[in-house]
Structure 1
Amino acid sequence: MSEEIQMGPDATSADAGLRRGVMGGGELAAQAIANIAPSAVIAFTAAAIYNTATNGTWVSFALATVVILSVGYCISQFAKRRSSAGSLYSYAATALGPFGAYLTGVSLLIGCFGIAAGSLSGSVAYTATLLNQLGIPVHGTVAQIVLAIVLGALATLFTIRGIRLSARVSLVLELVSVSIITLLLVITLVHLGGGAFDADQFELTDVKPSGIVVGMVLAILGFVGFSSSDALAREAKDPYRAVPRAIMWSAAGVGVLYVFAAYTQVAALGPALGSSAQPLDDIATLVGMPTWFNPILNFGVAASFFAVVVAPLNVVGRILYVMGKEGVVSPAIGRTHPTHLTPHRALVSVGPLVIAVPVVMYLFGADPMNVVTWVDTYGTYGYMVAYAAAALAAVVFLRGINARVPLVWPAAGVAIVSMAYVFYANVYPVPAYPLNVIPWLFIATVAAALAWYWLLSRRSPHVISAIGTSEVETLEGIG
């Protein structure tokens, strides 16, 4: 097998560049899993899905896993052949041209930014709960703002200090949180004894297929950000193998965890799950866990939310870094820290904005968990567009290089149709305020970004032609 490494146009840049060959497979998987935040999803999503899917909640998660693996399979076709810091932005450039790459990149930036800002509010909410349980009074808007600033600043600092540090922080926090929740779920099944075998769930008693499909929408949203390790390819060891594995195995592993968690929560709480505000706390009480366990449980969820602030910030920093090198945004953004070799200027620019979103909403009286729902929804629209574009780009890309990968066609079909349905299901029937405004906010953001693209095309056409081409290495000769 012959290999030819083709360097992007930035190869001779004076910029120190990103650190090379420091990320192992486990650290890449940590980035992907941290961006998903499975502990935070388990804490809420199964309860919401139960209201439509009932005993088929676990099936909604299982089918959502298939959809996400289809998206991941399409993205991995690029990751096997291209090493890029631009993530889906650079991938789309190979097949959809500058406009397609720009739209994909902007959508992914919106997705990562929204998830980071929303998750920061989740970390604030659960950190406050934890501190109150430990006897440290944390109440009111001022306390929420202080927590948001402290936690947001810490997340930004970790991303600037080094990719290995931020990945390891995310890995440790997610391992702790997932371990705590998994322990609770296993204890729950033991506590249920013979009731651990829930025949109604296996037989799908009183389950409507339409309810499972509606539940899939929320289940799919529980995976957003799963492919984020592709933005670290330039910093990875053996990226052409490690990144595709991280994408696929993290999605599959989290999918299995979701199915197990959904089944156990339904078996334990039954119909009460649909109305539970904190199902994990309710389960801990049901099985008789000691009083000291709830603070540990809330620490795990707070840690999971914090990890998902760090992970998408890493992606945002690298996409903006690539855009800066290409002149799409200020060239000053396209520089790395001389010591840490991280895109510090991009991170310093975005970090305060991530903090500002929940802070402003707190000043208007918003509850931190409502902020999570609203801002995460805004971010999710970005991910849906980026994933659909990446799936389409994979088909065009493979056809262009005459690579025969028969499964990519059905995978792309599943991915595009599913993303379109998820988008549709979130806007119709029209949800209550303020969720009904969020799609228009997303569209307005994209429209503003497209106006900048139009301006660049008139003023700096050479910038448009270079979109998605920098910070890329291509491994040729792989069929």
Structure 2
Amino acid sequence: MTATSTPPADAGLRRGVMGSTELFAQAIANIAPSAVIAFTAAAIYLSAGKGTWLSFLLATIIILAVGYSILQFAKRRASAGSLYNYAAIGLGPVGAYVTGVTLVIGCFCIAAASLSGSVSYTMLTLTQIGVPLEGLVAQIVVAAVLGGLAVFFTIRGIRISARVSFVLELLSIGIIVLLFVLTLGYLGPAAWDPSQFDLSQTSFSGVAAGMVLAILGFVGFSSADALGREAKNPFRAIPRAIMWSALGVGVLYIFGAYTQVAALGDGLGASASPLDEIAVLIGMPSWFNPILNAGVAASFFAVVVAPLNVIGRILYVMGKEGVVDGRLGRTHDRFQTPHRALLISGAAVVLVPAVFYLVGVDPISVLVWVNTFGTYGYMVAYAVIAIASIVYVRRLGVTNRLLPVAVIVAVGGMAYVFWSNIVPVPAFPFNIIPWLFALLFGLTMVWYLYLARRRPEVVKAIGTTETDLLEGVG
């Protein structure tokens, strides 16, 4: 074989370029709390009523339990494959594969849904400043432009994509927190709303139904774990980014839910744009609303970028192992990012909302429907990784009395939230979304069975590459 016929060595992922701040930025950008606050509290209010804050509180507890389970791996191993690699350590190839595919499904749907959210709020912002955009063509063009920018940032480099997302998210959070503080000041003594704590008037089934959207507000909180090969001091920085981002965002959600209910009351459930209504209620100047909505659009854009980073790295690892096409398991010669995986997944992320728009679905409905679908993917991945963590820790011979409690909370919480969203049967399309997810998951398992039968060497290697082990620890 001649030298020219030998394929060039893969450049691999860039090592040690992500500091603690940038890892935290990746986590916050993937969560996109500003976007969640902008529309989720109103949606949860429809089922949870004045217990909306409680839906967020219980979701925060469940997510912290999941985070503690992930922590058992993150403080000992650094990986580019995120939970995919972690699950392999505890549950072997099947656990790794299930975790990997459900996490990819979750990340992909959250990115596609958030792109639609960014389209909606971008068009609203432009209209408010005198550049009216409406109609099918405008929706598709804006989706293509925003999706193209997201792919550009992710391919250009993990540091620049994390920084851009974090700056956009910080600006948006700052604007929204300012609005909430001014709102409480405007309400005066009425800012104290004891009716929100009178749980005798709150249906727990309603609170549980709201928890699926509340958990949706956290999905991707562990995304820093996909940057184990690119992080500085990953064994300390990644666990901190995971836990502090979940806790900080949970507090922000509870505060935001309380304030919106105190300001709008029962009108929150009927509000299409609660933040705009609150701004008008407290007499904010007319120029504030476009700034507010631009911040929400930026927040949604940030959560397009961050999940794409995770998808790219999981597919990169899967490509190296032969689970998917091997050409995805290569990085860009210059930028050292998984550019092929990012290009393909980015194009598909744009295609999803575009197809919905073509059949007449509005951007906000696309946001809610596709987000809900993706949440089921995250819930499966989180439940599996929690189970894997307890197997892993016991195999190490480490005593950890808190971990079984965390696993029970994580797995039990996910199972209960799933059950409460299929019984009683919800209205269309939410009645079919869980089963569509189950169908897609079943199809991915057919591929696993094919690999197990025809390419057992691939199955044996699942979740075993691109992982560093902390010396001296299990």
The TM-score range, normalised by the shorter chain, is over 0.9
Question: In structure 2, how many angstroms separate the alpha carbons of the residues matched to 1:150 and 1:431?
Answer: 35
Question: In structure 2, how many angstroms separate the alpha carbons of the residues matched to 1:96 and 1:467?
Answer: 11
What's the CA shift string for 1:188-220, capped at 9, x where partnerless? 011111112222234446334443333333222
1:287 is aligned to 2:258: no
Given that 2:221 and 2:246 are in contact with CA atoms closer than 8 Å, whether structure 1 keeps it comes out as yes
Match of 1:354 in 2: 349
Match of 2:235 in 1: 240
Shift of 1:185: 0.3
Match of 1:315 in 2: 310
Match of 1:20 in 2: 15
Unaligned runs of 5+ in 2: 1-7
1:112 is aligned to 2:115: no
Match of 2:83 in 1: 88
Tell me which amino acid in the other structure corresponds to 1:452. W
Unaligned runs of 5+ in 1: 1-12
What's the CA shift string for 1:28-72, capped at 9, x where partnerless? 111111111111111122122223333322222112111110000
Tell me which amino acid in the other structure corresponds to 1:306. F
Residue in structure 2 matching 1:299, options 278, 294, 301: 294
Tell me which amino acid in the other structure corresponds to 1:388. A
Given that 1:321 and 1:346 are in contact with CA atoms closer than 8 Å, whether structure 2 keeps it comes out as yes
1:378 is aligned to 2:373: yes
Match of 1:435 in 2: 430
What SS does structure 2 have at the residue aligned with 1:355?
helix
Match of 2:169 in 1: 174
Given that 1:104 and 1:386 are in contact with CA atoms closer than 8 Å, whether structure 2 keeps it comes out as yes
Match of 1:366 in 2: 361
Shift of 1:180: 0.7
Tell me which amino acid in the other structure corresponds to 1:191. Y
TM alignment of 1:61-72, pairs within 5 A? 61-72=56-67
Question: In structure 2, how many angstroms separate the alpha carbons of the residues matched to 1:48 and 1:29?
Answer: 28
Shift of 1:154: 0.4
Question: In structure 2, how many angstroms separate the alpha carbons of the residues matched to 1:105 and 1:335?
Answer: 18
The 3 A distance-change label for structure 1 pair 178 and 74 is same
Normalized against structure 1, the TM-score is what?
A: 0.95
Question: In structure 1, how many angstroms separate the alpha carbons of the residues matched to 2:353 and 2:205?
Answer: 35
1:39 is aligned to 2:21: no
Residue in structure 2 matching 1:394, options 381, 389, 397: 389
Question: In structure 2, how many angstroms separate the alpha carbons of the residues matched to 1:149 and 1:47?
Answer: 28
Given that 1:265 and 1:273 are in contact with CA atoms closer than 8 Å, whether structure 2 keeps it comes out as yes
TM alignment of 1:419-434, pairs within 5 A? 419-434=414-429
What SS does structure 1 have at the residue aligned with 2:228?
helix
Question: In structure 2, how many angstroms separate the alpha carbons of the residues matched to 1:203 and 1:423?
Answer: 26
Match of 2:130 in 1: 135
Tell me which amino acid in the other structure corresponds to 2:80. A
Tell me which amino acid in the other structure corresponds to 1:263. Y
Given that 2:205 and 2:420 are in contact with CA atoms closer than 8 Å, whether structure 1 keeps it comes out as no
Tell me which amino acid in the other structure corresponds to 2:446. A
Match of 1:444 in 2: 439
What's the CA shift string for 1:403-433, capped at 9, x where partnerless? 1121110000000011111222222222222
RMSD (CA atoms): 1.4
Given that 1:152 and 1:355 are in contact with CA atoms closer than 8 Å, whether structure 2 keeps it comes out as yes
The 3 A distance-change label for structure 1 pair 234 and 156 is same
What's the CA shift string for 1:322-349, capped at 9, x where partnerless? 0011111111111111111100011011
Question: In structure 1, how many angstroms separate the alpha carbons of the residues matched to 2:205 and 2:128?
Answer: 41
Question: In structure 2, how many angstroms separate the alpha carbons of the residues matched to 1:380 and 1:209?
Answer: 21
Match of 1:6 in 2: none
Question: In structure 1, how many angstroms separate the alpha carbons of the residues matched to 2:435 and 2:48?
Answer: 29
Given that 1:162 and 1:340 are in contact with CA atoms closer than 8 Å, whether structure 2 keeps it comes out as yes
Given that 1:55 and 1:205 are in contact with CA atoms closer than 8 Å, whether structure 2 keeps it comes out as no
Given that 2:154 and 2:305 are in contact with CA atoms closer than 8 Å, whether structure 1 keeps it comes out as yes
1:403 is aligned to 2:391: no
Residue in structure 2 matching 1:224, options 184, 194, 219: 219
Normalized against structure 2, the TM-score is what?
A: 0.96
Shift of 1:273: 1.3
Question: In structure 1, how many angstroms separate the alpha carbons of the residues matched to 2:437 and 2:128?
Answer: 37
Match of 1:7 in 2: none
Shift of 1:100: 1.2
1:277 is aligned to 2:272: yes
- Comparing 220-229 with 42-51, greater Cα deviation is found at 42-51
What's the CA shift string for 1:296-324, capped at 9, x where partnerless? 01001100110000000000000000001
Match of 2:52 in 1: 57
Tell me which amino acid in the other structure corresponds to 1:335. R
- Comparing 107-116 with 29-38, greater Cα deviation is found at 29-38
What's the CA shift string for 1:115-142, capped at 9, x where partnerless? 0001101100110101111111211000
Shift of 1:455: 1.4
Match of 2:43 in 1: 48
What SS does structure 1 have at the residue aligned with 2:201?
coil
Given that 2:51 and 2:202 are in contact with CA atoms closer than 8 Å, whether structure 1 keeps it comes out as yes
1:267 is aligned to 2:262: yes
1:124 is aligned to 2:124: no
Match of 1:190 in 2: 185
Matched pairs, number: 467
